[in-house]
Structure 1
Amino acid sequence: MKTGRPFFQRLTRYYAIFAACFAGFLLALAILENEGMPRVWIGYMFLFATIVLYATIGVLARTSSVSEYYVAGRRVPALYNGMATAADWISAASFISLAGSLYLNGFDGLAFVMGWTGGYCLVALLIAPYLRRLGQYTIPDFLAARYGGPGDGRAVRLCAVAATILVSFTYVVAQIYAVGLIASRFTGVDFSVGIFLGLASILVCSFLGGMRAITWTQVSQYIIILVAFLIPAMWLSAKHSGNPIPQVAYGKLLPQLSAREAALAVDDKESAVRDVFRQRAEQVQRRLNGLPDSWEAGRAELQHYLDNVRLRNASLLEIRAAEWALIAYPKNADEAVTIWSAERDENLKRARPITPHATPFPGATREQSDIKRRNFLALAFCLMLGTAALPHILMRSYTTPSVDETRMSVFWTLFFILLIYLTIPALAVLVKYDVYTALVGSAFSDLPTWVSYWASVDKANPLISITDVNGDGIVQLAEIAIDGDVLVLATPEIAGLPYVISGLVAAGGLAAALSTADGLLLAISNALSHDVYYKIVDPKASTQKRVTISKLILLGVAFIAAYSASTKPGDILSLVGAAFSLAGSTLFPVLVAGVFWRRANHYGALAGMATGFAVCQFYMLHTNPVLGGTAAAQWFNIAPISAGVFGVPAGIAALVLVSLLTPPPDARRAALIRHIRSSEIPSGKDS
C-alpha cells in the first residue's frame, strides 16, 4: 500500500465510517436499555463488540514482514500516528486513576498532569526526531548504533534490553490489572477471569500484526477513549454550571466546592465520625505496642468465640463469619505488624481534617507543607524524564515516513493528549462537587444503587465503602471511602446517566488499558527477538523466523504479565510511577547524551545505565514498605514513587565522568553522531 495523500484520504474515510458505526451502536444500545434490556447484557455487548473490533483489525492487518511488524512499514501519516501515540500514551493510569488521584488529593494530584504533559514536550524537543533520523527498529537498536563498543555495541544493547523489559513489564502489569477491574465490573466475571479475557484481546492485535495492527487498532481506540471521557464530563458540567464545556465551567464551581468543604470542616457530626476513626487508630497502635502478646491474646479470643458459637448451635451464617475472622487473622506477629500498621494508617487518614481541594501542599505545619511541595516537584520531575525515555512511546517515532512527519506527529500527539488531560482536573472537581452536595447528608436508606454495585466488585478490598460509623443514619463525608481507581468508571452512575454511558466509559477504560498494553508487550518482544535473538544469537535468521520468534516471545510475556496482575500487586498509579522512575534513571541520560553530547561513549553509557538503575532500585527497595523497606529510610522525605529524582542525577554523573576518563568515540561513531544531529535541518527523506 502506497503512502501519500490517497492513503491519508482512504484512512480518513475508513475512520469516519467507524465513528458513524460506533455512534449507531451507542444509539441502538440506548434504545435497547430504554426497552428494558438487563444491564449485564449491555456490559457483555460492549465487551464483546470492542474485542471483536480489535480482533478484526488485528486479523486484517496481520503480516510476516519485518518492517511492517516492527515499525508499521514506516508509512503512518502524522495525524494518525499522533492519534495512535496518544492512545498508546493515555493508559489506564491516565483514564481511570488520574481523576481519582485529583479527587482524593486535590492540588497535589496535578503533579501527574504536569509531569506527563511536560514529559511529552521533552520527547518532542530532545529525542523523537533524532531517533527517526537513524531509522532503527528499537530503542536498544538506537543505543547500540550510537554508542558502539566491543561486539558492535553488544553490551550497551543488552543493558538497554534489560531496561526496556523491566520498565515495560512493570507498566504492563498495571494495564492488565485495569483490564481485569473493568471486565469484572461490567460482566460479573471473576477478577482473574476478566484479566485473561482482556489478554485475549491484546494478543489478537499484537500477535498477528505487530506494530501495523497495533497502530490501526490504537487509532480506533483513541476515538472510543475521547468520546467515553468527554460525554460524562460534559453532562456533569451542564448539570452543575449550565455550561457543557467542562474545561471552562469547573472554574465557576471551585468557589462553591470550597464553601461546601468549609461548611463540612466545622460540622459537629463530621468531627464526631473522625474522632471515632482516631480512637480506632489508637486502639490498633496499642495492639502494635503490645506485640507479640497482643497477637496471641487476639487469636485466643477469636478461637474462644468460634468455640462458643459452635457450642450454642448458632446460625450457619454466624459460624461462617467467626471462621472467616479466624482465617483472616494474622498468621504470626510479623504479619500482624504489616496488617495492623496498614489498618492504623487507614484510620488515621480518615481521621484527618478535610483538605481543601484547591489548596496547594496542605499540611498541619510548615514542615509538612514543605515535604509535600518537595514530593510534588520530585514526582513531576520523574514523570517528565520517565516519559521522555519510555520505549513503547519512543518506538512510535520510527513509524512515520520521514523526520518532518515525526515532528508533525509529535504535535498531533500533544494535541490529542491535551483533549483528555485538560478535562481530567475538571472531571475531578465536578464529581467531587456532586458527591459533596448530593451524597453527603443523604440518608443511608436512600443510598444510590451504584454504591452497592461497586462495593460488590471486590469484596476482599471494596472499591467503595459507606458505613454508618456514628449510627445516625445520615451519610457523613468521613464515612465514605472511595478507591481512586473506580471514580471515572462510576462517574456516569454518580451523574445519573443511563447505564449505556457506563458501558461506554468502561469501553474507553478498556481501550486505554489495551492500547498501552499492546505497545508495551510489543516493545518487550521486539527487544528480545530483534536485539537479542537476531542481533546476537542468530544474525542469519530469516525474516519469517524473526517475526515468528517475536510472536512467541510476546505470547509468553503476555501470560507472565497477566499472572502477575492477577496477584493484585498494588494500585495502578503506584505501579506506573515506579516504571517512570526506572525509565528516567536508566534510559533518559543515555538517550539525551547520545544526541547532544558527542563525547559520550559506550563506557559512559554502560556506567550511566547501571548507576541510574542501581540508585533508583536501591531507594525503592529501602523506602517502600510493600517491598520490605521503611519510610524512615527516605532521603529528604521523598516518596519511593519519585526514586528517579536520585537515579537520574546519579546516571548523568556516572555517564559524564566515565566518558571523560575513557577514550572518545571513534571516527565512525563521530560521523554517525553528526548524522543524528543533522535532523535539526528539516528533511523529508527517510534515513
Structure 2
Amino acid sequence: MSTSAQSVFRNRMARYYGYFTIGFIAVSLLMLLLEVFAGLPTQLIGWAFLLLTFALYATIGVLSRTKVLDEYYVAGRNVPAVFNGMATGADWMSAASFISMAGTLWLIGYDGLAYIMGWTGGYVLLALLFAPYLRKFGQYTIPDFVGARFGGNTARVVAAICAIIVSLTYVTAQVVGVGIIMQRFVGVDYMIGVILGLSGVLVCSFLGGMKAVTWTQVAQYIILITAYLIPVTALSIQLTGFPLPQLSYGQALQRIQVLEQEQGLSKASESPVVPGKFVTSGYIPPFNEGLSNVAAIDAVRQLNTQFGLNVTPPAAQAIPDANKPELGDWRGTPWNFLALMACLMLGTAGLPHILIRFYTVPSVRESRLSVGWSLFFIFLLYFTAPAYAAFSRWQILENVVGKEISQLPEWTSTWARNGLIVIRDLKVLDGVEVGKEPTWVKNLINAGSVVVEDANGNGRIDLAAWEDAGDGKGRAGEISGSAVTKARVDGILQLNELGRTAGDGIDGDLVVLSTPDIAGLPFTIGALIAAGGLAAALSTADGLLVVIASAVAHDIYFRTINPKASLNTRIVLGKTMIVVAAVIAALLAIPRLALIAQMVAWAFSMAASTFFPVVLLGIFWKRANGAGAIAGMIGGLAVTIFYMANNYLNPAFNVLGISHLGSGIFGLPVAIILIVVVSLLTKEPSKEIQDLVENLRNPITDDEGMTKMIDKMAPAK
C-alpha cells in the first residue's frame, strides 16, 4: 500500500471509530437517563450492554472475514501505527489490567505497584530491543523467527510449544474474568458466563483471524478506556470534589492511614521470627507482604466444589511463622518486589501475542511509532488504577468495616446473594438450620475449628453471648471452638471477615466491578464497567487464541509436518484449533487457580524465561545456534515451572522470599547460560544465518531483502 493510500485508509478508519466513540457514549447516557428517570430494570441494562457490544464485535468479525493468509495471520501488514497502538493496548490490557490490577493494589498496597512498573517498563524494552527488528523480519509468528534464525524445525517446534503453554495460561485468566463479569451483571451462572463470553471471542478470531481481531480490538480499547475512566472520575468528584482521580487520590491515602490506625490495622510490630526486627503493617508501607499458599488451598476447594471431589488441600503455610523461624522472615525486604517487577517487564517483551503485533504494521518506522502509541494508550489506564484501589479501600473502611451486619450497605447483600462475597462473622449462624451452614462454616467445622451442638434439640443453631471456654477456645451458645473468638461473633464486620466463597479475604477481582455499588452510583455505570471488563478480557483472549492456533496450524503442521498443505487446509486447521483452545481454556478456568493477576504473572514469568532470552540473543549475538536455543527454552521453562509449582503449594520453598509470581527470575539466567554455553560447545550457525542477523540488525530499511534471504534458507522451510 502506497503512502498516500495509507493516509487515506488511516483517515477513513479514524472517522469510522470517531463516530463509534460518539455513538457508544450517547447510548451509555441514554441508558443512564432511562434508569434514573424511567426506572429501566437493571437486568435489562446489563443485557443491553452485553448484546450491544457483542453485536458490534460480531459485525466487525463478519466484515473482516478473510481467506487471505497475510490478512489471517498479520492483518495484511497495513494497520496504521495509531490503530496498532490501540489494538496492542487492548490486546495488552487484559482482565488482569482492567479487573485485577486495581484489586491487587487494593489488597497489598505499595507492593502491587510492581505490576504497574513492570508492565509499563516492558514496553520500553520492546521499543529498544525488539519491535523494529521483528517488523523487518516480516514473517507470521515468533516460532517463525526462531525457526529461521536458528536454522531448523526442532527449535521452531519447541518455540511453538512454549507459545502454547504461555498463551494458554494467559487466556485462562481472561476466561475467569469473563465468567465473573457475566455472573455479576447478567445474573447467569459462572460457567454459562464463560461460555457466552468465549462465543463472543470466537466470532471475531474464528472468521477473520488477526485482521478481525485487530479491528475488533480498536473498538474494544475505546470501550474499555471509556468504561474505566468514567466511574473513577465520578468517584473522585464525589469524594474529593476534584475531577482528576490520578491527582486527587492522595487524600484517599491519608484517610486510609487514619482509618487503619483507628481500626488497629496499621502498626509497627516486632518480627515473630527475627528478634529486634520491626515491620510496619498497613496499606501504604512497602515490602510487608508475607508468603502463603492460600491461593493453592482456594484452588483445591474450588475443584472440590465444582467437581464434587474430596481432595485434601495442602496444609496452610505462611511466612513469617513464629513457630518455624527456620523458614525465614522476608517482610521488609524488596527482593520479591524486584523479582516480580523484572519478570513482568521481561515477560512483556517476550509475549508472543504482543510481539506479533509488530508484524501487522506497514513498515519498520510504523513499528516504532506503534510502540509509542501503545505506551500512551496503556498509560491512560495504568496511571488511574492506583486511584481506583485507594478510593475503593477508603469507602470500604469508612462505610463497611466496623458496621453492624444488619446495617451494611445494600450492595453487600447484592454481592452476597450472587455468591461473590461472604460475610464471615459467626453471628450469621444465629437461627440457621443445623447441617445447612454456609460452605465457609462447614470448612471450619471439618477442620475442627468450630463445633456445633444442638443442645435444645430444635434443629437450629442458637447463639448467646461469647464466653471464654479455656484452652484457646471460645463459646457462643451452641457453637464453640478455636475460631469462635469474641470479635468473630459480635455482629460487627471486621476487614478480615469480608471473604469470598472459596477462600479468606475479599476477592481482589471484585474491586473494580464493585466500585459503582460501593459509591452508590447508578447501575448503568456498573454495566459500563462490565462492558469494559469484557472488552479487556475478550480482546486479549482474541490475540492469544490466534497465537495458539497459529502455533499448531502454521508452525507445527505446515512448517514441520506437511509443508505442502494447501492454503484452505491451513486456515481450516487454524480455525479448528481456535475452538479447541477456547474449550481447554474454559475447562482450566473452572477451579480459578489464583487471582487473575497472579495467573497472568505466571504467563509472564514463563515468557521471560523462554522467549525473551532466545529473541534477544537471536538478534544481538550471531554465534547463538539452534542447539543453544532449544536448550535455553527448555531449561528456562523447566526451572520456572519447577520453582512456581513448589512455592505455590509450599511457601517454605523459596529463595530470598521470592514467590511463585516471580519465578521467571530463576529461569531467565538458566536460559541465557544454556544458550551461551551450548552454542559455544556446538557448531556455529551457517554463513546464511549470520548474514541474516547482520541484515536484521539494520532496521532502518524495510523487509524486502530480509524476506528474500529467508526464502533462500532451506532450514526455514
TM-score, scaled to structure 2: 0.80
Rounded to whole Å, the distance in 2 between the matches of 1:558 and 1:649 is 33
Instruction: Give ranges in structure 2 of 5+ residues lacking alignment.
Output: 268-303, 428-486, 500-505, 707-717
SS of the aligned residue for 2:263 comes to helix
Instruction: Give ranges in structure 1 of 5+ residues lacking alignment.
Output: 269-325, 350-363
The aligned residue for residue 71 of structure 2 is: 68
Moved more, 407-416 or 42-51: 42-51
The aligned residue for residue 602 of structure 2 is: 578
Given residue 165 of structure 2, which amino acid in structure 1 is its aligned partner?
A: L
The aligned residue for residue 663 of structure 1 is: 683
- Equivalent residue in structure 1 for 2:583, among 545, 559, 564: 559
Alignment of 1:95-114 (within 5 A): 95-114=98-117
Counterpart check, 1:166 vs 2:149: no
Distance 1:637 1:496, change over 3 A: same
Counterpart check, 1:408 vs 2:365: no
Rounded to whole Å, the distance in 2 between the matches of 1:426 and 1:215 is 30
Distance 1:686 1:491, change over 3 A: farther
Task: Give CA deviations for 1:441-500 in whole Å, capped at 9, x if unaligned.
Answer: 433222222112222333xxx435353554444433343332101000001111111100
Rounded to whole Å, the distance in 2 between the matches of 1:633 and 1:433 is 35
Q: Once the 2 structures are TM-superposed, how far is the Cα of residue 522 of structure 1 from its aligned partner?
A: 0.2
Task: Give CA deviations for 1:48-107 in whole Å, capped at 9, x if unaligned.
Answer: 111111011100110000000000000000000000000000010111111111111011
Task: Give CA deviations for 1:513-541 in whole Å, capped at 9, x if unaligned.
Answer: 00000000000101111111211222122
The aligned residue for residue 544 of structure 2 is: 520
Distance 1:114 1:686, change over 3 A: farther
- Equivalent residue in structure 2 for 1:593, among 584, 592, 617: 617
Alignment of 1:327-476 (within 5 A): 335-336=311-312, 338=314, 341-342=315-316, 368-370=329-331, 372-458=333-419, 462-465=420-423, 467=425, 469-476=487-494
Q: Once the 2 structures are TM-superposed, how far is the Cα of residue 553 of structure 1 from its aligned partner?
A: 1.4
Q: Once the 2 structures are TM-superposed, how far is the Cα of residue 565 of structure 1 from its aligned partner?
A: 1.4
**Contact 2:421–2:498 under 8 Å retained in 1:** no
Moved more, 163-172 or 237-246: 237-246
Rounded to whole Å, the distance in 2 between the matches of 1:161 and 1:385 is 19
The aligned residue for residue 320 of structure 1 is: none
The aligned residue for residue 476 of structure 2 is: none
Distance 1:331 1:431, change over 3 A: closer
- Equivalent residue in structure 2 for 1:57, among 51, 54, 60: 60
**Contact 2:141–2:356 under 8 Å retained in 1:** yes
The aligned residue for residue 235 of structure 2 is: 236
Q: Once the 2 structures are TM-superposed, how far is the Cα of residue 622 of structure 1 from its aligned partner?
A: 2.5
Give aligned pairs, total.
598
Greater than 4 Å deviation, 4+ residue runs: 364-367, 369-372, 468-473, 682-687
The aligned residue for residue 319 of structure 1 is: none
**Contact 1:206–1:214 under 8 Å retained in 2:** yes
Alignment of 1:18-167 (within 5 A): 18-34=20-36, 35-148=38-151, 153-167=152-166
Distance 1:257 1:571, change over 3 A: closer
- Equivalent residue in structure 1 for 2:522, among 473, 492, 498: 498
SS of the aligned residue for 2:423 comes to strand
Given residue 26 of structure 1, which amino acid in structure 2 is its aligned partner?
A: S
Distance 1:36 1:457, change over 3 A: same
Q: Once the 2 structures are TM-superposed, how far is the Cα of residue 607 of structure 1 from its aligned partner?
A: 1.2
Task: Give CA deviations for 1:314-336 in whole Å, capped at 9, x if unaligned.
Answer: xxxxxxxxxxxx999x988xx55
Q: Once the 2 structures are TM-superposed, how far is the Cα of residue 587 of structure 1 from its aligned partner?
A: 1.4
Distance 1:507 1:683, change over 3 A: same
Rounded to whole Å, the distance in 2 between the matches of 1:122 and 1:455 is 43
Rounded to whole Å, the distance in 1 between the matches of 2:10 and 2:705 is 18
Task: Give CA deviations for 1:327-362 in whole Å, capped at 9, x if unaligned.
Answer: 99x988xx5563xx44x879x99xxxxxxxxxxxxx
The aligned residue for residue 272 of structure 1 is: none
SS of the aligned residue for 2:609 comes to helix
**Contact 1:401–1:686 under 8 Å retained in 2:** no
Distance 1:76 1:477, change over 3 A: same
Identity in percent = 49
Rounded to whole Å, the distance in 1 between the matches of 2:600 and 2:332 is 22
SS of the aligned residue for 1:633 comes to coil
Rounded to whole Å, the distance in 1 between the matches of 2:305 and 2:638 is 39
**Contact 2:137–2:703 under 8 Å retained in 1:** no
Distance 1:266 1:410, change over 3 A: closer
**Contact 1:65–1:547 under 8 Å retained in 2:** no
Q: Once the 2 structures are TM-superposed, how far is the Cα of residue 267 of structure 1 from its aligned partner?
A: 10
Distance 1:650 1:24, change over 3 A: same
Given residue 416 of structure 2, which amino acid in structure 1 is its aligned partner?
A: A
**Contact 2:647–2:654 under 8 Å retained in 1:** yes
Rounded to whole Å, the distance in 1 between the matches of 2:397 and 2:195 is 37
Given residue 623 of structure 2, which amino acid in structure 1 is its aligned partner?
A: R
Task: Give CA deviations for 1:281-301 in whole Å, capped at 9, x if unaligned.
Answer: xxxxxxxxxxxxxxxxxxxxx
Task: Give CA deviations for 1:180-204 in whole Å, capped at 9, x if unaligned.
Answer: 1111111111111110000110000
Moved more, 465-474 or 670-679: 465-474
**Contact 1:118–1:384 under 8 Å retained in 2:** yes
**Contact 1:133–1:686 under 8 Å retained in 2:** no
Rounded to whole Å, the distance in 1 between the matches of 2:657 and 2:374 is 35
The aligned residue for residue 276 of structure 2 is: none
Rounded to whole Å, the distance in 2 between the matches of 1:87 and 1:81 is 10
Given residue 493 of structure 1, which amino acid in structure 2 is its aligned partner?
A: D
**Contact 1:371–1:637 under 8 Å retained in 2:** no
TM-score, scaled to structure 1: 0.83
The aligned residue for residue 612 of structure 1 is: 636
Given residue 22 of structure 1, which amino acid in structure 2 is its aligned partner?
A: F
**Contact 2:628–2:679 under 8 Å retained in 1:** yes
Q: Once the 2 structures are TM-superposed, how far is the Cα of residue 685 of structure 1 from its aligned partner?
A: 7.5
Given residue 54 of structure 2, which amino acid in structure 1 is its aligned partner?
A: I
Counterpart check, 1:646 vs 2:666: yes
**Contact 2:330–2:656 under 8 Å retained in 1:** no
**Contact 1:88–1:393 under 8 Å retained in 2:** yes
The aligned residue for residue 554 of structure 2 is: 530
The aligned residue for residue 275 of structure 1 is: none
**Contact 1:402–1:686 under 8 Å retained in 2:** no
Distance 1:136 1:371, change over 3 A: farther
Q: Once the 2 structures are TM-superposed, how far is the Cα of residue 636 of structure 1 from its aligned partner?
A: 2.8
